[in-house]
């Protein structure tokens, strides 16, 4: 309850509360940029699940480029 009251006071004073994801998104602005992979890495640090998704995607891309079968292609 104390946190809610404190947050209400801060908002009443005009502060807009933000989390790390909102700040990163505002700074990044768009994905169509030369340093997009660096931003993706930063997102992976903010959201563990996103980092795991990137790792899984990279592994799948490596398998495709090495012409290995993906799990979905195995019988």
Could you write out the three-class secondary structure of 25-72? HHHHCCCCCCCHHHHHHHHHHHCHHHHHHHHHHHHHHHHHHCCCCCHH
Residues 64-70, mean pLDDT to the nearest whole number = 79
Domain assignment present for 4: no
Name the pTM for this structure.
Answer: 0.52
Number of structural domains found in the chain: 1
Give yes or no for residue 71 having a pLDDT over 80.
no
Domain assignment present for 54: yes
pLDDT (0 to 100) of residue 52: 92
pLDDT (0 to 100) of residue 36: 86
Residue 61: give the domain boundaries.
18-73
Domain assignment present for 62: yes
pLDDT (0 to 100) of residue 67: 81
User: Could you read off the pLDDT of 7-64 as tens digits, one per residue?
Assistant: 888 889 988 878 878 888 888 888 898 998 888 888 888 889 988 998 998 888 888 8
């Amino acid at each position: 309850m104390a946190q809610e009251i404190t947050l209400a006071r801060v908002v009443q004073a005009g502060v807009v509360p933000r989390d790390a994801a909102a700040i990163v998104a505002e700074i990044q602005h768009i994905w169509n940029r030369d340093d997009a992979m660096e931003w993706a890495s930063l997102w992976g640090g903010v959201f563990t699940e996103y980092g795991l998704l990137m790792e899984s995607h990279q592994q799948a891309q490596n398998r495709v480029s090495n012409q290995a079968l993906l799990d979905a292609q195995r019988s």
